[in-house]
Chains A and B, each alone.
Chain A
Amino acid sequence: MNKVSIKNRNIIHRTALAVVMVASVFLLAVVLIMLLQYRQIKRTEPLDSPALSGLRERYITDERGNEQLKEQIRQLDLLSRRAWFTGQDQLHTGGFLIIGGMIALLTALQVAASTRPFPETPPGGSASTDRAAARARIGIAIGGGTVLLLSVITVFLVKPFAPPVAKTAFSAMKVVNIQPAETPVSPEEFNRNWPFFRGADTIGVAGNRKLPGDWDGKTGKGILWKSEIQLQGYNSPVVWGNRVFVSGGNKQIRELYCFNGTDGKLLWRLAADNIPGSPATPPEVAEDTGYAAPTMATDGRRVFAVFATGDLVCADMDGKRLWAVNLGVPKNHYGYSSSLLIVDGRLIVQFFDENRQLLAALNPDNGKPVWSADRKTSISWSSPSVINAAGRKLVVTITCDAVEAFDAASGSPVWQLNCMGGEVGTSAAYSEGRILVANDNACAAAISAIDGKLLWKNNELTLPDVASPVAFENAMYLFASSGVVSCVDAASGKKLWEKELGTGFYSSPLLVSGRIIVFNMEGNAFIIKPDREKYIQEAAWTLGEKVVATPAVVDGRLYIRTDKFLYCIGDKTE
């Protein structure tokens, strides 16, 4: 090769290298810009920008029909869309620039490589076949050994697969006997009985029922029967037909009881034991919560009970266990106390744990979940209620932070309002489209059942912390633990009157035939005529025992539970 051609080759080589440099810098710059652009696009959601969302919210809530605002939203929306599409276009263009840059770079590299100085014999000798083979053997052995070592480390580091059945809740249950599908229970049947905590409507409104007349627990007047309950519990009785159900428990054992409504004889008792996943050592609970605070539920075919251990048991009306499951041991500093209820053939369970707050609907035939709503909220000791809002059934729950509503059919959250505080133990009341809540250290509030909008809030009331409120004719009645009874206007939140009664209330008031019946902690029952003007007490009776549970009213009989006894109060002639 002559000198000229070598010179030309060198020039081409150097030029190609220069092109390589330029193309590399260009590519780096484009890639950098594209990465920044990509990050920008990923970070921002132009169509959901706070500014646009704020304007939309303003338009929907306060200024519907404001044409200027509408135009402003449109302009901002257009700008956002334009920004988004421009970003996409820029990414596209960047892609083509990279392809162009790559072609230039590769071509230049190829030219540079092909015009490199001719190779010369490499210095030194090549390794002998033996040495090369020895090196290969060592490499293979090291490689294989490393893979084996890494595998062993992985085996030890990663937790071995263990079917987590025993730890699970509903799947781990032992289905003893699944009953065949029966005729659905009609709402009338539910209303005739007392299937849940605070009655069939779950808000303490019992409709037109006869209340027993004059009675006295100390003398036994009007007491139809009194039966001992083996184990203590703060749950309230539920009644179906002639059967009264309560539960009780202590650290060692938890049980379900069924009493004959006619004579108070114990028909059956069922131990909640041998449940997979049930803790060997039950959790510690506060003395005034106990192991059986949640009220049972029944649909007249089966009866359900849940305990502070997380054990959920289903039995038939004759005390035969159908299935049982451990929901997980609730970590709850006072003890688990949320009551069960049944909505549209589904068992609603609210599980409150310090780490997880879950609302689930279970198939009562087998305990399998139909839906579950996992929430990021706090715990409480309140029970869910069912509210019919504009034809839609909502399950309303109260946590220590918020009032929440879930669609009863699907479990999807409908709304949430952060308006609570303190340690909530009360459940919701309802009046004319308003969900009414009240709890000590939080507030009394009214919330629109349809959209969860706060209608009013009042912090200057004497509020209950256990007894749930009850509403009648646009007024909410509150029975505080301090013994103060208050009446609040449900439309405005304004206090209408307040009355000091001395002993406090844990038992929730019920509205029966236009009268409020409530027990205080000393076991005195008050019949109060709801009135917006003043406190009107029509009657007062004494049971003579401490009462914290809420009574059940069925067929002219009042069932009330105390620490050790279940009472049936009524007219002996009936």
Chain B
Amino acid sequence: MSILRKMLTFILFFAAIPLLVAQSRFPKPDFTNGYKVPQVGLLPSAATQAERSMLPITPYLQYAVLGILLLFLIFSCYFLYRKRSRRGVLVTALSAVVFFGFVVGGCICPVGSIQNVAAAIFNQKFPISPVVLGIFLLPLFFALFTGRVFCGSVCPLGTIQEIVNFYPVKVPPLLDRILRVIPLFYLGAGVLFAATGIGFIICRFDPFVGFYRMSGPFFILTAGGGLLLLGVFVARPYCRYLCPYGILLGWFSKLSSRRVSITPDECIRCRLCEDVCPVDAIMPPSHEDREPMRKSLRRIILLLILLPLTAAASGVTGYFLGNPISLLHPRVELYRQVCAELAVGERPQTDESLAFRSSGTPVAELQKEVSSVVSNIRLGSCILGIFMALAIMARLFDFSKRREQKDFQVENSLCVCCGRCYNVCPREKRNRIILKEGE
């Protein structure tokens, strides 16, 4: 496992190098009409105050944010693994809400950075700053060694839900597993939309950024409010049933050898931890009356047979789903608008169509561009379909293999490292009392 882990780490970082190089190889275009492209990375020292104020946060603060993110991750690991302190985790989470939420304004966060990375990989004209890349990779790097500590006490989207989850209730396990498929689709759609230029849907539908900025569309604010209200009872509804970054963190965490150990020593199987875990990440010990090995094997063979069929069916469906998806692309929308206007019969002019007409670009050129966009979306959507099928089948394989565990253990890919289980574990309490009395 450790060799594989190291290999993955290396691959990850080597994969990042071309992105950084791509940025310098493809400089921004020089506009001949005097338009100046707003600076989004580091500004030169000669930049005016007005130029600096155009950025949501100053470029130096962007690097500072990366540094502070690293510090937060280190503190989280310290409180979680070293101190085994739920209170420490909670204080870190509160600080994260204040800093990454209200100070930084919730952007840029690793969740949204998926799209920047996808756009930069698939579109070489899209620049990505080292800070954004760092913000994307850092939590994944930590997940590779320490699990999802980022979710537990650093993520501004997760921590705000953590704070409001006062009366957690259990989601029926079957429903929980059904809903957990959604983030897979959301991740695929987020990558597809960013890669094909449709837009950054993960950011557009970020339910909590409106609270951090104290403004936003009514729908988003309402959805955010609704999720928070739901979050009082159902722990982290966004993290569990929507967050696309959680999927990546889950995959990386699976490779992590370090996991939250519920009890500091011997498990007495009191089931308090299983009951208190807000995300149902604690797996019970294996019973003695296991199902026969032959049955498991038969199931795995069946899944292996189904794998190519499912992938093909999903791929074909995905390809055709590309048609409706392509209607969301701004260039396709513009083309439809222009055609409708020209067809003398459907729509009044929009600002976009007016700008297009003023540019003097022939409609045939737009049509050519749109054809290429639609082909790309169909291909991407086909790949998304195959990805969905493979990911779901991988989950099925995971739950088809025989598990042997003596005690209650956390499932690394699901555990959000909140430390609630520490607080209820009788062995933990006993140890603390002994420690206190010893002092």
In the complex, whether B344 has a CB less than 8 A from a CB of chain A is yes
Q: Which of B167, B185, B343, B405 has the most CB of A within 10 A?
A: B343
Q: Which residues of A contact B175 (CB under 8 A)?
A: 139
Contact yes or no, A128 B287, CB < 8 A: yes
- Among A127, A152, A170, the residue within 8 A (CB) of B342 is A170
Q: Which residues of A contact B291 (CB under 8 A)?
A: 130
- Among B181, B275, B344, B363, the residue within 8 A (CB) of A368 is B363
A138-B174, A142-B178, A148-B317 given; name 8 further pairs at CB < 8 Å: A128-B284, A132-B283, A139-B180, A140-B181, A140-B399, A143-B180, A167-B339, A353-B344
- Among A136, A137, A171, the residue within 8 A (CB) of B364 is A171
A573-B261 Cα distance, complex, nearest whole Å: 116
Query: Given contacts A146-B178, A148-B317, A171-B338, is CB(A122)–CB(B424) below 8 Å?
Result: no
Contact yes or no, A121 B272, CB < 8 A: yes
A139-B180 Cα distance, complex, nearest whole Å: 9
- 9 inter-chain pairs at a CB distance below 8 angstroms, sorted by A residue, are A126-B271, A133-B400, A142-B177, A147-B181, A154-B321, A161-B323, A168-B343, A328-B345, A356-B346
Interface positions of A from 158 to 186, Cβ below 8 Å from B: 158, 160-161, 163-165, 167-172
Interface positions of B from 289 to 343, Cβ below 8 Å from A: 289-291, 313-314, 317-318, 320-321, 323-324, 326-327, 332, 335-336, 338-343
Shortest Cβ distance from residue A269 to the other chain B in the assembled complex, whole angstroms: 27
Contact yes or no, A113 B166, CB < 8 A: yes
Contact yes or no, B349 A372, CB < 8 A: yes
A32-B272 Cα distance, complex, nearest whole Å: 40
In the complex, whether B173 has a CB less than 8 A from a CB of chain A is yes
Q: Which residues of A contact B363 (CB under 8 A)?
A: 168, 170-171, 368
9 smallest CB-CB distances across A and B, nearest first, come from A139-B177, A143-B181, A171-B363, A158-B324, A144-B392, A126-B284, A128-B287, A143-B178, A168-B339
Q: Which residues of A contact B6 (CB under 8 A)?
A: none
In the complex, whether B20 has a CB less than 8 A from a CB of chain A is no
Q: Which of B25-33, B45-53, B111-119, B367-375 contacts A (4 or more CB under 8 A)?
A: B367-375
In the complex, whether A327 has a CB less than 8 A from a CB of chain B is yes
- Among B364, B388, B403, the residue within 8 A (CB) of A147 is B388
- Among B167, B275, B392, the residue within 8 A (CB) of A113 is B167
In the complex, whether A305 has a CB less than 8 A from a CB of chain B is no
- Among B344, B348, B403, the residue within 8 A (CB) of A169 is B344
Contact yes or no, A161 B326, CB < 8 A: yes
Nearest neighbor of B404 in chain A, beta-carbon distance: A129
Nearest neighbor of A140 in chain B, beta-carbon distance: B395
Nearest neighbor of B90 in chain A, beta-carbon distance: A110
Q: Which residues of B contact A132 (CB under 8 A)?
A: 173, 283-284
A517-544 CB mask vs B (1 if < 8 Å, else 0) is 0000000000000000000000000000
Which range contains the number of B residues in contact with the other chain?
A: 35 or more
Shortest Cβ distance from residue B365 to the other chain A in the assembled complex, whole angstroms: 11
In the complex, whether B232 has a CB less than 8 A from a CB of chain A is yes
In the complex, whether B66 has a CB less than 8 A from a CB of chain A is no
Which range contains the number of A residues in contact with the other chain?
A: 35 or more
Contact yes or no, B327 A161, CB < 8 A: yes
Q: Which residues of A contact B327 (CB under 8 A)?
A: 158, 161
Query: Given contacts A144-B392, A169-B344, A328-B343, is CB(A135)–CB(B323) below 8 Å?
Result: no
A424-B424 Cα distance, complex, nearest whole Å: 85
B223-251 CB mask vs A (1 if < 8 Å, else 0) is 00000000010000000000000000000
Interface positions of B from 343 to 401, Cβ below 8 Å from A: 343-349, 357, 362-364, 367, 370-371, 374, 385, 388-389, 392, 395-396, 399-400
Interface of B is mostly: helix
Nearest neighbor of A351 in chain B, beta-carbon distance: B344
Query: Given contacts A133-B400, A144-B392, A356-B345, is CB(A154)–CB(B324) below 8 Å?
Result: yes
Q: Which residues of A contact B340 (CB under 8 A)?
A: 164, 168
Query: Given contacts A109-B164, A121-B272, A126-B274, is CB(A165)–CB(B367) below 8 Å?
Result: yes
In the complex, whether A553 has a CB less than 8 A from a CB of chain B is no
A327-B392 Cα distance, complex, nearest whole Å: 50
In the complex, whether A213 has a CB less than 8 A from a CB of chain B is no
In the complex, whether B179 has a CB less than 8 A from a CB of chain A is yes
In the complex, whether B286 has a CB less than 8 A from a CB of chain A is yes
Query: Given contacts A164-B340, A171-B363, is CB(A140)–CB(B271) below 8 Å?
Result: no
Q: Which residues of B contact A (CB under 8 A)?
A: 163-164, 166-167, 173-182, 185, 214, 218, 232, 270-272, 274-276, 283-287, 289-291, 313-314, 317-318, 320-321, 323-324, 326-327, 332, 335-336, 338-349, 357, 362-364, 367, 370-371, 374, 385, 388-389, 392, 395-396, 399-400, 403, 405, 408, 424
Q: Which of A139, A146, A160 has the most CB of B within 10 A?
A: A139
Contact yes or no, A161 B374, CB < 8 A: yes
A342-359 CB mask vs B (1 if < 8 Å, else 0) is 000000000101011010
Q: Which residues of A contact B370 (CB under 8 A)?
A: 163
A539-B363 Cα distance, complex, nearest whole Å: 55
Nearest neighbor of A149 in chain B, beta-carbon distance: B317
- Among B166, B275, B342, B388, the residue within 8 A (CB) of A171 is B342
A141-B342 Cα distance, complex, nearest whole Å: 47
A140-B323 Cα distance, complex, nearest whole Å: 27
Contact yes or no, B343 A167, CB < 8 A: yes
Q: Which residues of A contact B164 (CB under 8 A)?
A: 106, 109
- Among B173, B232, B320, B357, the residue within 8 A (CB) of A136 is B173
Q: Which residues of A contact B218 (CB under 8 A)?
A: 38
In the complex, whether A471 has a CB less than 8 A from a CB of chain B is no
In the complex, whether A360 has a CB less than 8 A from a CB of chain B is yes
- Among B173, B283, B321, the residue within 8 A (CB) of A151 is B321
Contact yes or no, A121 B270, CB < 8 A: yes
Q: Which residues of A contact B163 (CB under 8 A)?
A: 106, 110
Query: Given contacts A129-B283, A139-B178, A147-B388, is CB(A328)–CB(B323) below 8 Å?
Result: no
Nearest neighbor of B165 in chain A, beta-carbon distance: A113
A158-B324 Cα distance, complex, nearest whole Å: 6
Query: Given contacts A109-B166, A161-B374, A368-B363, is CB(A140)–CB(B179) below 8 Å?
Result: no
A164-B336 Cα distance, complex, nearest whole Å: 7
